[in-house]
Amino acid sequence: MTLPLSAYLIVAALLFGIGIYTVVAQRSAVMVLMGVELLLNAIGLNLIAFWRYVRPDDYSGQIFTILIVTVGAIEMAVGLAIMMLLYRNRQTQQVDDYQELKG
């Protein structure tokens, strides 16, 4: 039994919507980073779903998605390190308090 493409797209759209809401509504820097990670995972799920239904014999879509997940993990590690340094200097994790860091 295989699931239709629309089932994967609905789950990916829900993940993407939750990620957008988290990035826009949250003020905590860690929660914003988690929202960005949800966005990347939704994109990866869409990529695998379309690749599976368009070219089921080709595995390059899965390899590309592993690359996306790896970049997301690196982004989280670097982002958390930057947030830890900012927290040490400012004693806050609220995104609104970092407005003077804009270029």
pLDDT tens profile 7-63: 999 999 999 999 999 999 988 878 888 899 999 999 999 988 998 888 888 888 888
pLDDT (0 to 100) of residue 102: 60
| Residues near 30 by beta carbon (within 8 Å), at least 6 away in sequence | 80, 83, 93
Domain range summary for the chain, segments of one domain joined by +: 27-94
Q: Tell me, what's the pLDDT at 11?
A: 95
Q: Per DSSP, which regions of 24-96 are E strands?
A: none
pTM to 2 decimal places: 0.78
Q: What confidence category does residue 96 fall into, taking pLDDT thresholds of 50, 70 and 90?
A: low
Q: Which two tokens stand for residue 34?
A: 């988690």
Is 18 in contact with 44 (CB distance < 8 Å)?
no
Q: What is the pLDDT of residue 101?
A: 60
| 91/9: higher pLDDT | 9
Among candidate residues 61, 98, 103, the one with its CA nearest the CA of residue 83: 98
35: left (phi over 0), alpha (psi -120 to 50) or beta: alpha
DSSP code, position 91: S
